Amino acid sequence: MHTCIHFFFFFYNFLAFLNNDLWRGLNLISKGKNRTHAAHNYGYSGNNSLDSKMNELRERVISKNVNEPEFLQAFEEVLECLKPVFKKDNIYLGVLENIAEPERVIQFRVPWINDKGEHKINRGYRVQYSSVLGPYKGGLRFHPSVNLSVIKFLGFEQIFKNSLTSLSMGGGKGGSDFDPKGKTENEIIKFCQSFMTNLCRYIGHNTDVPAGDIGVGGREIGYLFGQYKKLKNSFEGVLTGKNVKWGGSNIRSEATGYGVIYFAENVLKDMNESLKDKRCVVSGSGNVAQYLVEKLIEKGGIVLTMSDSDGYIYEPNGFTKEQLSHIMDIKNVRRERIKEYLKYSKTASYFGKEKPWSVPCDLAFPCATQNEINNKDADLLIKNNCKMVVEGANMPTHIDAMHKLKKIKLLYVHLKLLMQGE
């Protein structure tokens, strides 16, 4: 079942690409005309085996992006999933090669001054990946792990996620290696203003419309939007995730987390099961995790864990709505570490520097960051008889772990179907 979900989505996606005027213009598919010619131009028309053609494409992409492990991992996932599509027509190999190369990569300097009066330099990125279906669209991430490889993998996945909405949106992603953790309000303002001062010349409501991601929430979007408005003298829909008071959309914050749960619920329904009384392990405590947990509790699930990059909280009887509101307060208002939650619960324990995957569960919801489930974590989940992994983050499962989970027929639900919170 997992494989079906996986490639079906991509298949429809590609049809969307191929139906686009651009491709029609290139005469690639219109009325089944001569495809050999176009395919030949990509070099995939020979009569060697499909596997060797796929290898050829793989080699080409690897050789161009040697230092980008996250991007190559995302590419490999897509390549493997699409094999049935390539089997139908080799031309799709050429299409994928085309899509794998970003239309534009922007890197810029972000200078700002901290509260001690020291000059700091961070690096900003915007990767405008594909505008085949519409203006670039995708989040901004502020996190010390951000580099070109991370932004490219996110941007590449964003193309497919956005095309699923059937709205006219391309794909892109951006961010900075700036670490918002422990920064004062004043420092966040300074950084956001400097970041936007450079970014503003590349975005616009018909060009590229960024949103939030890790480290960029409603507060940061507010400072970014304010600076954009000031520089461009234009109040336009250039960022999503804005406060509803000034043009944001209702229920935007909840959309991703809720969406993951609605999807999980439907998958379970298909197996005559429900979320009720399922023991759930959740990682993360950001926007997605918070609303995902809220909905899970509402549906009768028992949420045993939540985490941040320092460690995880284990609540043996499951979080209540009230306990969740403490987590939200710690994370969204006070901006402290999740460990602070111990003050509000006599039953909870905290495990520093650990991920929650060793806690036995029926369902696992990775909602923190990329590659948070590795080979060893997959072994733990399998050993503890976890029935289903539902992704609420971008590429949270390492590709080796994914192969392992699929091999034992653990139901594995890919994120791209779900993350439509833009």
Ligand X SMILES: *[C@@H]1O[C@H](CO)[C@@H](O)[C@H](O)[C@H]1NC(C)=O
Residues annotated as catalytic are 173
Q: How far is CA 413 from CA 6, 65, 123, in A?
A: 8, 28, 34
Q: How far is the CB of 185 from ligand X (least distance, A)?
A: 27
What tokens were used for 408? 């034992």
Q: Which stretch binds ligand X (CB under 6 A): 100-108, 120-128, 146-154, 358-366?
A: 146-154
Q: How far is the CB of 144 from ligand X (least distance, A)?
A: 8
Which residue of 271, 316, 347, 407 would you call a contact of ligand X, by CB under 6 A? 271
Q: How many CB atoms lie within 10 A of CB 150?
A: 24
Nearer to ligand X, 34 or 206 (CB): 34
**Which residues are part of a known binding site for substrate?**
137, 158, 161, 212
Nearer to ligand X, 146 or 402 (CB): 146
Nearer to ligand X, 1 or 244 (CB): 1
Q: How far is the CB of 34 from ligand X (least distance, A)?
A: 4
Assess 145 for contact with ligand X (CB under 6 A).
yes
Assess 111 for contact with ligand X (CB under 6 A).
no
H or E segment to which residue 136 belongs: strand 136-142
Q: How far is the CB of 116 from ligand X (least distance, A)?
A: 27
**Which residues are part of a known binding site for NAD(+)?**
256, 287
Nearer to ligand X, 37 or 104 (CB): 37
What tokens were used for 76? 């490999």
Assess 150 for contact with ligand X (CB under 6 A).
yes
Q: How far is the CB of 76 from ligand X (least distance, A)?
A: 15
Which residue of 147, 207, 243, 345 would you call a contact of ligand X, by CB under 6 A? 147
Cβ-closest position to ligand X = 145
Length of the chain in terms of residues written: 422
Q: Which stretch binds ligand X (CB under 6 A): 34-42, 172-180, 182-190, 372-380?
A: 34-42
Assess 149 for contact with ligand X (CB under 6 A).
yes
Assess 272 for contact with ligand X (CB under 6 A).
yes
Q: Which of residues 52-81 bind ligand X (CB under 6 A)?
A: 67-70
- The Cα 224–Cα 248 span in angstroms is 14
Contacts of 357 (CB under 8 A, 6+ apart): 281, 283, 364, 373, 377, 380, 381
H or E segment to which residue 56 belongs: helix 50-64
Q: Which of 110, 175, 100, 170 is nearest to 143 (CA)?
A: 175
Residue 265: HSE in the Cβ half-sphere, 13 Å Cα cutoff? 17
**Centroid of chain to Cα 407:** 24
Q: To 10 degrees, the CA torsion angle through 381, 382, 383, 387?
A: 80
How far is it between the farthest Cα atoms of the chain?
71
Produce one character per residue of 115-140: b if its CB has 16 or more CB atoms within 10 Å, e if not: eeeeeeebebbbbbbbbbbbbbbbbb
Q: How far is the CB of 94 from ligand X (least distance, A)?
A: 15
Assess 36 for contact with ligand X (CB under 6 A).
yes
Assess 34 for contact with ligand X (CB under 6 A).
yes
Type of residue at 127: V
Assess 26 for contact with ligand X (CB under 6 A).
no
**Which residues are part of a known binding site?**
137, 158, 161, 212, 256, 287
Q: Which of 396, 312, 392 is nearest to 356 (CA)?
A: 312
Summarize as ranges the residues that interact with ligand X (CB under 6 A). 34, 36-37, 47, 67-70, 145, 147, 149-150, 271-272
